[in-house]
Structure 1
């Protein structure tokens, strides 16, 4: 299977590398050609435009930071929809708005193209090892045809239903992650202020009923002081906006999500949108006047 891959960011480069390891013929494009250079060294072909990445491909994957970026790559000049051949498949691995996904999928269908959505969850470090979770929405036959491709990138692959369902569950999982992140910071600060050893406190929480995936992963880079989880405040706000829109559409009041979004808005105002998302905990550190630090924690969870 010949695959085009558009979006070689912190996440995309690992997903694309997994495809190369899986033996897929890969053509890559990113606005920053330097980001794709390591993949080209490993055997990928560089494409100057998204359309060039799609030309001759059986499937094109997009892994981009926003719904607007996805639309630009598909519909823009020399875009994917102009060059992906009839019978090809567009696979969006971005965290997208389910309405926008459906709109673009209809455009793709009018040109004889199939669409799958396949957002991932679990963190950049799991993408690096090929163990990230892949959530798939789309027609069952199309999913089956592309399962080897999806399994090459992820450890667990869930087909959750028709197109749109994966986008919905993805923003729900992200909502939980951001709420857990704020709660993790408060728990660690309480532990520090009562005089507990922070490393041991982290270990006790990780072994308790109060643990979470976020505590066990992002808690480490908070205690290191790097906050580097490979995911920015701007991306968190984009995802929180999507889940709050979903709550409004369905009549579900999302009080915790709304308050969490307020904290991320404060973090963006204080530290900038390109700051790593765990910097939201820095707000509490600044308010209390105490840095949450403990020895022995890594600056990043990505393998060297």
Structure 2
């Protein structure tokens, strides 16, 4: 018997994911609150239902890709919602990014009606969705996961089954927390980025550059200053602030009941894949900190970089917070270990020497 798949929510992500299913021959019935968004999919062979309940009634399993927890709950619990037609033999897969409590609430409602439930948030944005290159973080009913794998293989490049409901939501939130923190760590004042760029063109040397005026178009003003810059010091800010964000993510995953190694695997497949994570992550999990770059030298560089920021009136709150963690690690007697040992200071902030 041909499997019919339902899809609820045709925003930026949902539309791209649905289109990939159609291109690979899936029989698809779709719904969106604004029904006109279904038109392009209909042109590619999709059927349209007027309510979420109608989609569920028609399909073997139904996928939802909605904007937030409120929308995810509404589609399930409101009039003409999923609960009105879910029953034994039908599955519901929520691929929205929601918190674990929301996933658990939906799961309990679906299973109380005899249906099976899977949460499956994704790591990736518009382009990976269009290209079928998402990373899928599934948790819940294993049989439904296996049934949906052909669809997951079309929408994503890799799927993880993470166990019980809530783990998928937790993993997605940990990944996005790291991504958000890194976005801040890697994006200081654009003027600083311009300074670093100019120095890099000249060569990675400690040097002095004198400016009469620097025209910074992004800010639209003349910036008169004589600048003293060290490319080696400045360039370390991003990576060491990233290490703090990465360490917090590993700890959050572990404390949330997730496998830290699985987090490393997920990160390595996504848009924030980083050679440092791949190299340092396993040793951080194993608490093996053989020094490649001693922590005490890293903290010294953080201190010098922050001083450089003070000299040039550049606010660097992310770097300042990272420096405090490295200072704590030194006070714990970790100065001669690798700089990744800052993980211990982040993990046990109450510890002291």
The two structures have a TM-score, normalised by structure 2, of 0.55
Q: State the distance in 2 between where 1:57 and 1:22 align.
A: 17
Which structure is larger by alpha-carbon Rg, 1 or 2? Answer: 2
Decide which moves more: 170-179 or 135-144: 135-144
2:105 counterpart of 1:88: no
Give the equivalent residue in structure 1 for 2:159: 157
Q: State the distance in 2 between where 1:3 and 1:108 align.
A: 17
Task: Tell me which of 136, 141, 150 is aligned to 2:138.
Answer: 136
2:57 counterpart of 1:52: no
SS, match of residue 186 in structure 2:
helix
Higher relative contact order at CA 8 Å, sep ≥6: structure 1 or structure 2?
A: 1
Give the equivalent residue in structure 1 for 2:172: 170
Question: 2:86·2:114 contact (CA, 8 Å) conserved in 1?
Answer: no
Unaligned runs of 5+ in 2: 204-234, 243-248, 257-312, 315-353
Which runs of structure 1 show a deviation greater than 4 angstroms over 4 or more consecutive aligned residues? 197-201, 208-212
Q: C-alpha displacement at 1:22, in angstroms?
A: 2.1
Decide which moves more: 178-187 or 1-10: 178-187
Task: Tell me which of 113, 116, 127 is aligned to 2:115.
Answer: 113
Task: Tell me which of 194, 217, 228 is aligned to 1:192.
Answer: 194
In structure 2, relative to structure 1, the CA distance for the partners of 1:17 and 1:199 (3 Å cut) is farther
In structure 2, relative to structure 1, the CA distance for the partners of 1:138 and 1:195 (3 Å cut) is closer
Question: 2:86·2:110 contact (CA, 8 Å) conserved in 1?
Answer: no
Question: 2:118·2:145 contact (CA, 8 Å) conserved in 1?
Answer: yes
Give the equivalent residue in structure 1 for 2:36: 34
Number of equivalences = 215
Q: State the distance in 1 between where 2:29 and 2:13 align.
A: 17
Question: 1:95·1:170 contact (CA, 8 Å) conserved in 2?
Answer: yes
Unaligned runs of 5+ in 1: 202-207, 216-242, 251-286, 289-304
Q: Deviations over 1:238-296 (max 9, x none)?
A: xxxxx9xx89x97xxxxxxxxxxxxxxxxxxxxxxxxxxxxxxxxxxxx99xxxxxxxx
Q: C-alpha displacement at 1:78, in angstroms?
A: 0.5
In structure 2, relative to structure 1, the CA distance for the partners of 1:44 and 1:179 (3 Å cut) is same
Q: C-alpha displacement at 1:159, in angstroms?
A: 1.0
SS, match of residue 185 in structure 1:
coil
The two structures have a TM-score, normalised by structure 1, of 0.64
Give the equivalent residue in structure 2 for 1:267: none
